[in-house]
Chains A and B, each alone.
Chain A
Amino acid sequence: MVSLSINGMLVKVPQGTTILDAAKKLNFRIPTLCQHDDLCVAGNCRVCVVEQLGGRSLLAACATPVSSGMQILTNSLKVRAARKHVIELLLSEHNADCTKCYKNGNCELQDLSNEFSVGDHLLLDLTETKEYTIDRFSPSIIKDDSKCIRCQRCVRTCEQLQGVNALTVAYKGEHQKISTFEELSMAEVICTNCGQCINRCPTGALVERTYLDEVWDAILDPEKHVVVQTAPAVRVGLGEELGFEPGERVTGKMVAALKRLGFDSVLDTDFSADLTIMEEGTELLTRLKRALVDKDPSVALPMTTSCSPGWIKFIEHTFPEYLPNVSTCKSPQQMFGALAKTYFAQVRKLDPKNIVSVSIMPCTAKKYEANRPEMRSSGYKDVDYVLTTRELAKMIKQAGVEFRKLKEDKYDSIMGKSTGAGVIFGATGGVMEAALRTAYEIITGREVPFEGLNITPVRGMEGVRLASIKIEECKEEWSFLNGVELKCAVAHGLVNARELMNRVKSGDLIVHFIEVMACPGGCLGGGGQPIPTNEKIRKKRTEAIYAEDMSMELRKSHENPEVIGIYKEFLGEPLSHKSHELLHTHYTERVRY
């Protein structure tokens, strides 16, 4: 332990603790900008500078480990002067037209300049003579360099959490900026559209491309029947934007709010998550049969999940040789979209051309996914507009809906019914768990041998997790699986996905089924979720997801009555011709520079 004093108060902390964390222990908050709990230390914004008595220069509290006998001042004259200067300097380079900014009200720089009352800028406005680029080419992400404060959080996110390196630092001195490979647009570089950069940007330099106006136009058009689907992770995140604590579930209030906003049918992506399990589970068993019984050498194993569009774009760029291994199932969003303009239209006697299909997602990559040319199997664009959790919160605020006071409501039917298995799609390991609950039962006729159906080995926050389940006493048609140990791997965060795939590629790891979610924590940590995010918040949302699962009447996808119904009335059976037409897709090898 190291003893030091901060503002005259003594504190003991373990060796290696930063001054920032030591101060936190004494309830002194030191302002930061480039620091983020999920990322390595940068120490480049210099907002957190503190004074060490007897020291020549100030120290960056986030980057400096404590040493014994240190006497730190966090609010001395020198510190105040420097901090104010740093904020003024940042503002002098920043397009500070806050009222017109998408992040107005949720901007760390705005908060700081407010705290330090930086009113009349003494320094010169440097933005007048600079040229900035605003990149609007990506369907998911808008990158506005005029708002960028070069904290490099996005660069570190893209490198350390995602291993994608779409964003990088270019040039030096006054020309230094956050750029891309050869300064191509975000739409052209290897970017998975995951939006993790957006989630960590302290200002409005990286934001989602919003489709709020388009959705309002559709809602307010009497000709249109606007169908909305909500992803599992939205219900455990939305509250944070509307005054609730992280981890508070707001499913019923969200449904009520969506109805008040004027959506004609409020439906659930969890329904199509259950459907995904039926299709994907069957696909896995079929692949296993072809490999084990038919000894077909062309069958691609391990099979990987395909729900995460960030993961799909990543594998298309990075491991194209493994594209045959990716499940051909569309993501739940896109299955839902294809069915909304076919099955749903047919049952509800609607002309699909008058249906506008909107999805609320914790994700920015879903915006890209909905725009993929192959996502038009209904004959129309299957999902017209994708909004993030944050955008939905904005709609609720715009419409003046008092969210807190809303009575809980229920999803409409059809395509509104779901099980706990569909809900846990929102957490890393959830698709794996849901698939195992169903597949094991199909094979053996018995429930998975885990207490309360909770397959805990696939849960958690480890970057890569391995689990296996021994299959015994199979039903007759599955007897070829008797004694097989089904091996599974789960990864979240693309840096972990890359590690996992490299292990598979090297032959070091042999598994049958792989779940990958592009974002840390799975969808609940998605790029479209409320800001801020960190591991603590993601854990709260995870707890909420599993609590929601436990609260459900049904917890296995194959027991979802609407899923049973759609196979009976419309699709026939999993992997049927119709299923293939509407619910399955293919992938494209993409450039790898």
Chain B
Amino acid sequence: MKDKHVKRVDLIFEKIECRDVLEKIIDMEPDAICQEILESDLKGRGGAGFPTGMKWRFGSQEESSIKYIVCNADEGEPGTFKDREILDQVPGKVFCGMAIAARAVGAKAGYVYLRGEYKFLIPKLNEELAKFHRTMDEFNQNFRIQVRLGSGAYICGEESALFESIEGKRGEPRNKPPYPTTSGLFGKPTIINNVETLVYTVMIMKYGASHFKELGTKDSRGSKVFSVSGDTPKAGIFELELGMSVNEFVEEFGDGDTKAVQVGGASGFCVPRKRFEETIIGFEGVPTGGSMKLFNSTRSMYNVLHNYLDFFTEESCGQCTPCRVGCQQLLKGVEAVKRGDKNSKYLDELVKLAKTMKRASKCGLGQSVGNAFGSIVENFKEEIIY
């Protein structure tokens, strides 16, 4: 029986000697690295949760003299701010994770795509990067990393839009397939991982997959860094073991009056109080890239929803129809219902539209607008209408 409490973990921010890990992995066969990560069951920490080991193995199997490692540091999901802290506290570990990935797939170049608003981190990153490159030189490794800055578009956190942006083009998602491991940055096989994921690979290579697997559940191994915000006395960044229920989370972080938790930011799900007990935070329940927003009874869920829709209406790249126009229709639609211009049945039409957006949009952005919309409308219908 698992201990029914929120368990703090200290892996991500643990100060370690990266060169020891580098020294270790340089002598390892690439496939052994992929195997170790596969065995750890580590899933991507950006939100989508794709098994990292599988991604690396796909990348390693590609025949190409040029491959890239990209660190997705375009942390833009509303309510998440953990990558900023990781990059600020342990940038060396991020680069180390990229070097492990590079060794695993045979890449010589890497990019850190940094959110535009995190520009202030650049001097620090460059300083740390110089150190990293010196270490690589000492080990006779030719893997090199560059930092590229985004310009503030949420969509550029989508991996293929991110590639377009690095390539100097307008940040718009590409059609898939081909997937990045086959054709990513500059059309070459590319491994793209979230900042946090890369740091976990370092810790897995340091302590072993089995150590990592001791934490978490069958579907959600290990721990995760959470960005806690909203109506909470303990806002901030917390690394916690995966597998807790929303209830356990609220007991730890709530203010005693929590009526809903938005798990996973604007593109995530809203969990109402009545589902706190049964909902697991993780891939078996509601996954999150880190954003945890608590709302107490003073908050209007109409305003919350309106805010998210406003965000998506602005941040859709505008390329595909369901997302560009769908977002506007959802936003204008809930406004019309609130005003009484449309009756409450119109919400049902909008729920159907949100389903189409989920099914027919080109990328994850449009596909996930329906998450917040559906879960808020379903659970707080009266707040939307009245």
How far, in whole Å, are A174 and B327 apart by their CA atoms in the complex?
A: 8
| A410 contacts B by Cβ under 8 Å | no
Say how far B264's CB is from chain A's closest CB, in angstroms. Answer: 17
Q: How far is the CA of A25 from the CA of B333 in the complex (A)?
A: 41
Q: Is the CB of A150 within 8 A of B322?
A: no
| Cβ contact within 8 Å between B326 and A89 | yes
A402 to B39, CA, bound (A): 77
Map CB proximity to B onto A380-406 as digits: 1 under 8 Å, 0 otherwise: 000000000000000000000000000
How near does chain A come to B101, taking the closest CB pair, in angstroms? 27
- Nearest-neighbour CB distance to chain A for B3, whole angstroms, equals 35
A591 at the interface (CB under 8 A from B): no
Do residues B329 and A64 form an inter-chain contact, with CB atoms below 8 A?
no
Name the segment of A165-173, A328-336, A450-458, A543-551 touching the other chain.
Answer: A165-173
A173 touches B175 (CB 8 A): no
Partner of B321, one of A44, A65, A122, A172: A44
Kindly state the separation between the CA atoms of A81 and B333 in the bound complex, as whole angstroms.
Answer: 19
A109 to chain B, nearest CB (A): 11
Quick check: A58 and B360 within 8 Å, CB to CB? yes
Chain B residue contacts of A11, Cβ below 8 A: none
A173: which B residues are within 8 A, CB to CB?
312-318, 324, 327
Measured between beta carbons, the chain B residues less than 8 angstroms from A65 are 177
Chain A residue nearest in CB terms to B331: A174
Chain A contacts with B in 109-158, Cβ cutoff 8 A: 122-124, 126, 129, 149-150, 152
Known A90-B325, A124-B333; judge A174-B361 contact (CB<8 A). no
**CB-based nearest A residue for B367:** A57
| Cβ-defined contact, A49 with B359, below 8 A | yes
Looking at B319, B327, B333, B358, the one whose CB has the most chain A CB atoms below 10 A away is B319
Q: Which residues of A contact B329 (CB under 8 A)?
A: 89, 92, 123-124, 126
Q: Across the interface, which residues of A come within 8 angstroms of B359, CB to CB?
A: 49, 57-58, 78, 82
Expressed in whole angstroms, the Cα–Cα distance for A43 and B362 within the complex equals: 8
Please determine whether A124 and B336 come into contact, CB atoms closer than 8 angstroms: yes
Give every chain B residue within 8 A of A174 (Cβ-Cβ): 313-314, 316, 318, 324, 327-328
Task: Tell whether A126 pairs with B313 under 8 Å between CB atoms, given A44-B319, A57-B367.
Answer: no
Interface residue A539 (Cβ < 8 Å from any Cβ of B): no
Q: Kindly state whether residue A86 has any CB partner on chain B within 8 Å.
A: yes
Q: Which B residues lie within 8 Å of A49 (CB)?
A: 359-360
With both beta carbons as reference points, the residue of chain B lying nearest to A171 in the complex is identified as: B318
In the complex, which residues of chain B have a beta carbon less than 8 angstroms from the beta carbon of A43? 175, 320, 362
Residues of B within 8 A of A58 (CB): 359-360
Mark each residue of chain B from 262 to 298: 1 if its CB lies under 8 Å from any CB of chain A, else 0: 0000000000000000000000000000000000000
Query: Number of B interface residues, CB 8 Å?
Result: 37
The CA-CA distance from A169 to B359 in the complex, in Å, is: 25
Q: Which of B314, B336, B359, B362 has the most CB of A within 10 A?
A: B359
Q: Given A86, A149, A171, which contacts B360 in the complex, CB threshold below 8 Å? A: A86
> In the bound complex, do residue A85 and residue B322 qualify as a contact, i.e. CB atoms below 8 Å apart?
yes
Task: Kindly supply a per-residue 1/0 record for chain B positions 330-341, scoring 1 wherever the CB is within 8 Å of any chain A CB and 0 otherwise.
Answer: 001100100000
- Name the A residues within 8 Å of B316 (CB-CB): 172-174, 176
Q: Among A46, A81, A171, which residue has its beta carbon within 8 angstroms of that of B361?
A: A46
User: Interface residues of A toward B: which range?
Assistant: 35 or more
354-369 of chain B: CB within 8 A of chain A:
355-356, 358-362, 367
Closest chain-A Cβ to B328's Cβ sits at a distance in Å of 5
Q: Considering only CB atoms, which chain A residue lies closest to B346 in the complex?
A: A122
Q: Nearest chain-B residue to A130 (Cβ)?
A: B328
B202 at the interface (CB under 8 A from A): no
Q: Please measure, in the bound complex, the distance between the C-alpha atom of A129 and the C-alpha atom of B329, giving whole angstroms.
A: 12
CB–CB B360/A126 < 8 A = no
> With the chains together, A124 CA to B326 CA distance in Å?
11
- CB within 8 Å of A: which of B23-45? none
Task: Report the Cα distance A150→B353, complex, angstroms.
Answer: 20
Question: Chain A nearest CB: distance from B135 CB in Å?
Answer: 40
**Which one, B153, B353, B355, contacts A172 given CB within 8 A?**
B153
**B324→A150 contact, CB < 8 A:** yes
Interface: B352 (CB within 8 A)? yes
Q: B155 at the A/B interface (Cβ < 8 Å)? A: yes
Give chain B residues whose Cβ lies under 8 Å from the Cβ of A169: 170, 172, 318-319
Minimum CB–CB distance from B346 to chain A (whole Å) comes to 8
B167 interface residue (CB < 8 Å to A): no
Q: How far is the CA of A380 from the CA of B92 in the complex (A)?
A: 75
Determine whether the beta carbon of B327 is less than 8 Å from that of A150: no
Could you say which residues of chain B place their CB within 8 Å of the CB of A124?
329, 332-333, 336
How many angstroms between the C-alpha atoms of A205 and B278 in the bound complex?
52
Contacts of B219 in A (CB 8 A): none
Interface string of B209-239 (1 = CB under 8 A from A): 0000000000000000000000000000000
Which chain A positions have C-beta within 8 A of B252? Answer: none
A93, B358: Cα distance in complex, Å: 20
Cβ–Cβ < 8 Å partners of A92 in chain B: 325, 329
- Interface flags for A84-102 (1: CB within 8 Å of B; 0: not) read 0110011011000000000
Q: What CA separation (Å) do A262 and B79 show in the bound complex?
A: 71
B349 at the interface (CB under 8 A from A): yes
A171 to B359 Cα, complex, angstroms: 25
Bound together, the chains give a CA A174 to CA B315 distance in angstroms of 8
Determine whether the beta carbon of B360 is less than 8 Å from that of A46: yes
Known: A58-B360, A81-B356. A63 touches B175 (CB 8 A): yes
In the assembled complex, A292 has its CB within 8 A of some CB on chain B: no
CB distance from A193 to the nearest CB of B (A): 25
Residue of B170, B312, B321, B367 most packed against chain A (CB within 10 A) = B321
Asked if A60 and B314 sit within 8 Å, CB to CB, the answer is: no
Question: Which residue of the partner chain B has the closest CB to A89?
Answer: B325
Once A90-B325, A123-B353 are accepted as A-B contacts, the answer to whether A82 and B360 lie under 8 Å apart by CB is: yes
Determine whether A41 belongs to the interface, using a CB cutoff of 8 Å to chain B: yes
Are A44 and B356 in contact, CB atoms less than 8 angstroms apart?
A: no
Flag if A46 contacts B324 (CB, 8 Å).
no
Q: List, in ascending order, chain A residues with CB within 8 A of B360's CB.
A: 46, 49, 57-58, 82, 85-86
A130 vs B362: C-alpha distance in the bound complex, in angstroms?
Answer: 25
Contacts of B322 in A (CB 8 A): 46, 82, 85-86, 89
The answer to whether A122 and B315 touch across the interface, beta carbons within 8 angstroms, is no
Contacts of B321 in A (CB 8 A): 44-47, 86, 89-90, 149-150
Closest beta carbon of chain A to B149's beta carbon, Å: 18
What B residues does A57 contact at CB under 8 A? 358-361, 367
Query: Is A536 among interface residues, defined by CB-CB distance under 8 A?
Result: no
Mark interface residues in A29-48 (1 if CB within 8 Å of B CB, else 0). Answer: 00000000000010111110
Tell yes or no: A349 within 8 A of B by CB: no
Give, as a whole number of angstroms, the nearest-CB distance from A146 to chain B.
Answer: 14
Interface residue A175 (Cβ < 8 Å from any Cβ of B): yes
- A85–B314 touching, CB < 8 Å: no
Name the distance in Å between B371's Cβ and chain A's nearest Cβ.
13
CA distance in complex: A173, B353 (Å): 17
Mark out the residues of chain A between 416 and 466 whose CB falls within 8 Å of any chain B CB in the assembled complex. Answer: none
Chain B neighbourhood of A123, CB < 8 A: 329, 333, 349, 353
Taking CB atoms and an 8 Å cut-off, the chain A residues in 46-70 that contact chain B are 46-47, 49, 57-58, 60, 63-65
Contact between A176 and B175 (Cβ–Cβ < 8 Å)? no
Using A85-B326, A126-B332 as known contacts, list a sample of 14 further A-B pairs with CB atoms less than 8 Å apart, ordered by residue number in A. A41-B175, A44-B321, A63-B175, A65-B177, A82-B356, A85-B353, A90-B325, A124-B333, A150-B318, A150-B324, A171-B318, A173-B317, A174-B314, A175-B318
**10 contacting pairs across A/B (C-beta < 8 A):** A43-B175, A85-B352, A86-B322, A93-B324, A93-B325, A126-B329, A169-B319, A172-B155, A172-B314, A174-B314
